[in-house]
A and B are shown apart, each in its own frame.
Chain A
Amino acid sequence: MTIIEEAFVPSPRDGEDNGGPLLEVRDLHVEFRTREGVVRAVNGVNYSVSAGETLAVLGESGSGKSVTAQAIMGILDMPPATIPQGEILFRGQDMLKMSAEERRKIRGRRIAMIFQDALSSLNPVLSVGYQLGEMFRVHQGLSKKDAKAKAIELMDRVKIPAAAARISDYPHQFSGGMRQRIMIAMALALEPDLIIADEPTTALDVTVQAQVMDLLAELQREYNMGLILITHDLGVVADVADKIAVMYAGRIVERAPVHELYKRPAHPYTRGLLDSIPRLDQKGQELYAIKGLPPNLLHVPDGCAFNPRCPRAEDVCRTEVPALLGITAQDGTELVGRASACHFRKETIDG
């Protein structure tokens, strides 16, 4: 075990640490050109993650949370996708201006991604040992034998029992939780600075979800990694996130530190989501439900995209797109790390 620990001590990353955030997304736009028209999946998203920090991106399907992540990783299919505008700064360098070769060096080595569905993300005809070892063979030029040894270390690291015996097993021979561990091992292989986890536990049962989230949090602490957790589960977010960005129809509608968001949401959408969680004292009563449906991205409503479903909507909401602005408390002080894209952000936060 000692050897493994040594091999995994994160290399000191000073020298390149410029004090700023690890990753910063600035005014990112992503569009898909389809036959029906232009779908604006991401519409000016801003967020940042520092080392050791967990940012949770919360949103429903179609809110653009996964597309943003794919744009960061550089795995969007272009075409049909285009990025007309925006910057993705990794340690201060804009990845969108880099050559394909430079981006390849970052992908996997510095930023890694964990996908939702482990079974379809792993190659069914190759053994997991081969797929894990591929990271070392391709990126570090290790021999097959060394890569295999490293793969066993990795599997041990993510607590897969009897790693050495299971190294030549195929993905279908593992359970869902174990497959997700293999995905995590693969993402960790090159000790990246940042991990993007796209719904990493959605397909898992709660008891296994708890195991996997625990493992992820432990590894993050150990390597001081940044983590972007994409999810729609308000429970998971409350458990692990430091700060939260809530997305709706391609925009961030609210940004807040985790405790603040649950205590005092500043956007009607966030409030609606929190209110629709079944609570003990509401047994037998109707659940609060956000009326209507998430918008079709081909026909996003004018003004605030949430206005047709919003209980607070007024005329200004139907004409003017609210900007994501900071919030001041009642005594006039700025609330740190908070922002909301609602014309009535003050009224919402004060109830």
Chain B
Amino acid sequence: MADPGKIEEPQDAAAPNVSEVEVVDAHSESEAVAAIEAPVERGEPILQVRNLVKHFPLTLGILFKRQVGAVKAVDGISFDLYQGETLGIVGESGCGKSTVAKLLMNLERATAGEIFYKGQDITKLSGRAMKAVRRNIQMVFQDPYTSLNPRMTVGDIIGEPFDIHPEVAPKGDRRRKVQELLDVVGLNPEYINRYPHQFSGGQRQRIGIARGLALNPEVIICDEPVSALDVSVQAQVINLMERLQDEFNLSYIFIAHDLSIVRHISDRVGVMYLGKMAEIGTDEQIYDHPTHPYTQALLSAVPVPDPDAREHRERIILTGDVPSPANPPSGCRFRTRCWKAQDKCAEETPLLAVPQRFQGVDTPAAHESACHFAEEKDVVHAA
């Protein structure tokens, strides 16, 4: 793997999105735990991802496995998550957004790169320090039908985290704690002895959220939390998540493919394509002033619930499919579907940085975009 330090420098130079990492040198486990438990001020970075890479090896042979290639699911992405904010990550299936979620949870080992949680690189932690991190970063899954064990009661599901982290709730106190959590997510506390099948999809997602909240985490990673729900129920769950964010001072990473919901809930949005971050900025910068052609195509392809718009809306219809991440195109990964692609795009990988033409200019278009020919184009309001 490439030396992560080497790539970092040019990116840091032009990237205000990516702030300085204050690495906490913990000499002992208890120092590390203390650093993890320390509070973070609102607006300070809580999670800093630097050049994160995850390659899944492709092997051949049964006994003597030879590596014949790698699926480059995540290929060098960097971003910050600030305390109290919601960072939306959008992209098509196969762009690596769920792999990012698993890496942040340390459910997958990163091939290279670092994830700093309050200055501690969680890819290198172990033992008590790792356990403390795990308590503070929780996840809400996409499918509320398969992410709840059908043989456990709701009380057991929500209370299970307390078995691993008994310091959060002493044994005698658990039942009360679980009922409190049920109440917080808007379910009847008397349902504690019911099984998941007795609930509807939206209610199950609330159970999943209650489980995520059980250990008073600081960061919740939501991987498509509403896409499996009925439209009339989606709004309920989104409202609940926003309310909980204010109430418990949570930071969210919100992964989804529904761009209008991401815009509603996010403070900043990152657009991923084939394992790389194509563009990142505030919701206004991304939605109203996109400069990356992929973001523009993605936004223009979203069906707008307004029949009057259909006659005069400009739509960019991309040709072809997303290339295989096992064999991504050289240079810019989007070039095979891009209408602006030139020779330069095949030779040179564009860095995620504020495009040169917008540098020093005070415009919403001046945000990071990984395109050689970044150009502002308002596709949402185009009439």
A209 & B301 in contact (Cβ 8 Å cutoff): yes
B233 & A293 in contact (Cβ 8 Å cutoff): yes
> Whose C-beta in chain A lies nearest to the C-beta of B242?
A286
A208 & B321 in contact (Cβ 8 Å cutoff): yes
Measured between C-beta atoms, what is the minimum distance from A181 to chain B in Å? 11
Interface residue ranges of B156-206 to A (CB < 8 Å)? 200, 202-203
Query: CB < 8 Å: which of A178, A276, A282 contacts B321?
Result: A178
Q: Scoring A residues 259 to 270 as 1 if CB is less than 8 Å from chain B, else 0, what string do you get? A: 100100000000
Q: How many residues of A contact B (CB 8 A)?
A: 46
Number of A-B residue pairs, CB cutoff 8 Å, is 117
Q: A175-B321, A278-B263 are in contact. Are A238 and B304 (CB under 8 A)?
A: yes
Interface-located stretch among B104-112, B214-222, B310-318: B310-318
A241 to B238, CA, bound (A): 28
Interface residue ranges of B225-239 to A (CB < 8 Å)? 230-236, 238-239
A258 to B309, CA, bound (A): 12
B307 adjacent to chain A (CB < 8 Å)? yes
Measured between C-beta atoms, what is the minimum distance from A57 to chain B in Å? 14
Q: Scoring A residues 175 to 216 as 1 if CB is less than 8 Å from chain B, else 0, what string do you get? A: 111100000000000000000000000000111111101100
Q: A206-B92, A207-B297, A232-B230 are in contact. Are A289 and B236 (CB under 8 A)?
A: yes
A274 adjacent to chain B (CB < 8 Å)? yes
Find chain B residues with CB under 8 A from A177 CB: 321
Find chain B residues with CB under 8 A from A288 CB: 235
A294 to B200, CA, bound (A): 9
B-side interface size class: 35 or more
Query: CB < 8 Å: which of A237, A259, A273, A278 contacts B232?
Result: A273
Q: A205-B257, A206-B259, A287-B238 are in contact. Are A274 and B315 (CB under 8 A)?
A: no
B236 & A258 in contact (Cβ 8 Å cutoff): no
A262 & B259 in contact (Cβ 8 Å cutoff): no
Q: Scoring A residues 272 to 298 as 1 if CB is less than 8 Å from chain B, else 0, what string do you get? A: 111011101011001111110110000
A235 & B303 in contact (Cβ 8 Å cutoff): yes
A184 to B312, CA, bound (A): 27
B305 adjacent to chain A (CB < 8 Å)? yes
A316 adjacent to chain B (CB < 8 Å)? no
B359 adjacent to chain A (CB < 8 Å)? no
A211 & B304 in contact (Cβ 8 Å cutoff): no
A289 & B239 in contact (Cβ 8 Å cutoff): yes
B126 adjacent to chain A (CB < 8 Å)? no
B18 adjacent to chain A (CB < 8 Å)? no
A302 adjacent to chain B (CB < 8 Å)? no
> Whose C-beta in chain B lies nearest to the C-beta of A248?
B232
Query: CB < 8 Å: which of A209, A234, A258 contacts B231?
Result: A234
A61 adjacent to chain B (CB < 8 Å)? yes
A211 to B320, CA, bound (A): 9
A132 to B232, CA, bound (A): 38
A276 & B261 in contact (Cβ 8 Å cutoff): no
> Whose C-beta in chain A lies nearest to the C-beta of B92?
A205
> Whose C-beta in chain A lies nearest to the C-beta of B238?
A287
> Whose C-beta in chain B lies nearest to the C-beta of A283?
B264
A293 & B202 in contact (Cβ 8 Å cutoff): yes
> Whose C-beta in chain B lies nearest to the C-beta of A276?
B235
Interface residue ranges of B268-315 to A (CB < 8 Å)? 283, 297-298, 301-310, 315
A232 & B264 in contact (Cβ 8 Å cutoff): no
A233 & B298 in contact (Cβ 8 Å cutoff): no
B92 & A207 in contact (Cβ 8 Å cutoff): yes
B349 adjacent to chain A (CB < 8 Å)? no
Q: A206-B298, A210-B301, A239-B303 are in contact. Are A278 and B231 (CB under 8 A)?
A: no
Query: CB < 8 Å: which of B297, B306, B318 contacts A238?
Result: B306
Q: Scoring B residues 306 to 344 as 1 if CB is less than 8 Å from chain A, else 0, what string do you get? A: 111110000101111110000000000000000000000
Interface residue ranges of A13-53 to B (CB < 8 Å)? none
Query: CB < 8 Å: which of A273, A274, A278 contacts B264?
Result: A278
Find chain A residues with CB under 8 A from B230 CB: 60-61, 232, 294
Measured between C-beta atoms, what is the minimum distance from B41 to chain A in Å? 21
Q: A177-B321, A178-B321 are in contact. Are A236 and B303 (CB under 8 A)?
A: yes
Query: CB < 8 Å: which of B257, B308, B319 contacts A206?
Result: B257
A277 & B203 in contact (Cβ 8 Å cutoff): no
Find chain A residues with CB under 8 A from B306 CB: 238, 262
A205 to B94, CA, bound (A): 10
A286 to B303, CA, bound (A): 23
A260 to B263, CA, bound (A): 27
A207 & B307 in contact (Cβ 8 Å cutoff): no
Measured between C-beta atoms, what is the minimum distance from B308 to chain A in Å? 7
Residue in A210, A274, A294 whose Cβ sees the most chain B Cβ within 10 Å? A210
A259 to B233, CA, bound (A): 25
Measured between C-beta atoms, what is the minimum distance from B285 to chain A in Å? 14
A293 to B319, CA, bound (A): 39
B203 & A287 in contact (Cβ 8 Å cutoff): no
Measured between C-beta atoms, what is the minimum distance from A200 to chain B in Å? 13
B260 & A238 in contact (Cβ 8 Å cutoff): no
Find chain B residues with CB under 8 A from A294 CB: 200, 230, 232-233
A239 to B310, CA, bound (A): 6
A290 & B235 in contact (Cβ 8 Å cutoff): yes
A150 to B230, CA, bound (A): 40
A207 & B303 in contact (Cβ 8 Å cutoff): no
Find chain A residues with CB under 8 A from B317 CB: 207, 210-211, 214
A-B contact pairs, 27 of them (CB 8 A): A60-B230, A60-B232, A206-B257, A207-B298, A208-B321, A209-B301, A210-B317, A211-B317, A214-B317, A235-B303, A235-B304, A237-B305, A238-B307, A238-B309, A239-B303, A239-B307, A239-B310, A259-B307, A262-B308, A273-B232, A278-B261, A280-B263, A282-B264, A287-B235, A289-B232, A293-B200, A293-B202
Those 4 A-B pairs whose CB atoms lie nearest each other, nearest first: A235-B303, A278-B264, A289-B235, A276-B235
User: Besides A238-B307, A262-B305, 8 other CB < 8 A contacts?
Assistant: A176-B93, A206-B298, A239-B304, A240-B310, A259-B308, A278-B263, A294-B200, A294-B230
Chain A positions within 8 Å of B, measured between CB atoms, are: 60-61, 161, 175-178, 205-211, 213-214, 232-241, 258-259, 262, 272-274, 276-278, 280, 282-283, 286-291, 293-294
